[in-house]
């Protein structure tokens, strides 16, 4: 089977970023950092046209869960591409871009934009959460 | 003890970015580290004689149709006044400008903890300057069109 994330690796090279691979029997996975923040990319062996790019962040202690849900909902309405999801049991918030592509090569010219919107979503989420509390 | 260049190089690489580093100039102790972020190449200048001083620069190309040298120099002066610590230099016959921030800290650790904030300040000031140049050029073109059509004799 061809590696669906090969051209995503090329996009990371274009961006001048280091990355590491951690594939297993279920999925192709890439981990990387940009400006010190951690991101992941995943594609599943049984669904290679699906690609997810994301980042996970810890929620600050003592935040009101409903405030966080409200902020996430507002971002989901307003932001292109990015899905903001709360994982309250783990006290985490996840920002993901989920794509359906014929080949991962389609992602390469847009990768910088997708990374920017992921980054901006996280910044806006925490800024809005601070202003809510 | 590793050099200032080495420490800053390892820091930027540790943050996920590939770095192209020049050797240290034996005369001045200065070296240059190049890395990319958000599609833009940045240059960081370190100095072995002063670990607490760095300079961060990035270049912006001015669109060909907006290369009006005297007006762009004025724009850069105005943006400099608004963004205090970021300096601008027109280069290559006015086809690009370089935005530079020099930062003196009390320690190299302080520089590292503020590093992405400093990069963001350079980027914001540079982007603002490009927008201002383009906006003023477009406004001027629009104003000239209006004046020209206003001055035309009635048919």
CA-CA distances (angstroms) from residue B107 to A124, B112, B113? 30, 9, 10
Q: Which residue has the higher pLDDT, A110 or B69?
A: A110
Q: What is the mean pLDDT of residues B34-40?
A: 96
Q: How far is CA B150 from the centre of its chain?
A: 40
Domain that holds residue B96: 4-151
Which residues share a beta bridge with A40?
A: A31, A54
Quick check: A33 contacting B, CB < 8 Å? Answer: yes
- For chain B, the domain total comes to 1
pLDDT at B155: 47
pTM for this prediction: 0.85
Answer yes or no: is A1 within a domain.
Answer: no
pLDDT at A4: 82
For residue A21, give both structure tokens.
């691979």
Per residue in B46-74, pLDDT (tens digit) is: 999 999 999 999 999 988 877 777 788 88
A89: left (phi over 0), alpha (psi -120 to 50) or beta: alpha
The alpha-carbon gap from B17 to the nearest alpha carbon of chain A, in Å, equals 5
- CATH number for the domain including B130? 3.30.1460.10
Q: What whole-number percentage of chain B has pLDDT above 90?
A: 61
**Residues from chain A contacting residue B18 (CB–CB below 8 Å):** 16-18
Answer yes or no: is A66 within a domain.
Answer: yes
CA dist., res. B153 & res. A55, Å (int): 63
Cβ(A30)–Cβ(A8) under 8 Å? Answer: yes
Burial B48-63 (b: 16+ CB within 10 A, else e): eeebebbbbbbbbebe
**Contacting residues for B83 by C-beta, under 8 A, at least 6 apart:** B121, B124, B125, B128
**Residues from chain A contacting residue B36 (CB–CB below 8 Å):** 15-16
Q: Do B38 and A112 lie within an 8 Å CB cutoff?
A: yes
Closest residue in B to A39 (Cα–Cα): B16
- CATH number for the domain including A35? 3.30.1460.10
Quick check: B102 contacting A, CB < 8 Å? Answer: no
- For chain A, the domain total comes to 1
The phi and psi torsions of B135 (rounded to 5 degrees) equal -60, -45
Short-list B83, B87, B82, B96, CA closest to B130? B96
User: Among A89-93, A118-122, A129-133, B48-52, which is the least confidently predicted range?
Assistant: A129-133
pLDDT at A13: 94
What's the ipTM? 0.85
**What does DSSP assign to residue A32?**
E
Domain that holds residue A53: 6-132
The alpha-carbon gap from A113 to the nearest alpha carbon of chain B, in Å, equals 8
Cβ(A5)–Cβ(A49) under 8 Å? Answer: no
Distance between start and end Cα atoms, chain A: 49
The DSSP annotation for A86-115 comes to EEGGGTEEEEEEEEE-SSGGGTGGGHHHHH
pLDDT at B14: 97
């Amino acid at each position: 089977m061809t590696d669906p994330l090969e051209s995503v690796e090329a996009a990371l090279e274009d961006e001048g970023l280091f990355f590491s691979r951690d594939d297993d029997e279920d999925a192709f996975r890439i981990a990387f950092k940009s400006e010190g923040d951690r991101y992941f990319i995943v594609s599943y062996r049984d669904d290679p046209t699906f690609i997810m790019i994301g980042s996970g962040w810890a929620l600050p202690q003592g935040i009101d869960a409903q405030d966080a849900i409200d902020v996430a909902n507002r971002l989901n309405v307003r932001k292109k591409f990015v899905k903001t999801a709360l994982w309250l049991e783990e006290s985490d918030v996840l920002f993901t871009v989920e794509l359906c592509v014929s080949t991962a090569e389609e992602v390469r010219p847009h990768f910088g934009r997708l990374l920017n919107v992921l980054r901006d979503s996280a910044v806006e989420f925490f800024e809005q959460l601070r202003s809510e509390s | 003890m590793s050099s200032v260049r080495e420490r800053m190089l390892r820091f930027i690489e540790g943050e996920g970015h590939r770095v192209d580093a020049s050797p240290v100039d034996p005369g001045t102790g200065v070296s240059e580290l190049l890395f990319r972020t958000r599609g833009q190449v940045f240059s960081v200048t370190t100095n072995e004689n002063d670990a607490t001083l760095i300079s961060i620069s990035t270049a912006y190309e001015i669109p060909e149709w907006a290369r009006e040298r005297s007006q762009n120099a004025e724009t850069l002066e105005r943006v400099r006044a608004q963004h205090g610590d970021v300096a601008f230099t027109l280069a290559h016959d006015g086809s690009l400008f370089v935005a530079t921030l020099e930062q003196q800290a009390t320690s190299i650790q302080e520089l590292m903890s503020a590093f992405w904030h400093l990069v963001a300040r350079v980027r914001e000031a540079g982007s603002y300057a490009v927008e201002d140049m383009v906006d003023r050029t477009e406004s001027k073109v629009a104003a000239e069109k209006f004046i020209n059509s206003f001055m035309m004799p009635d048919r």
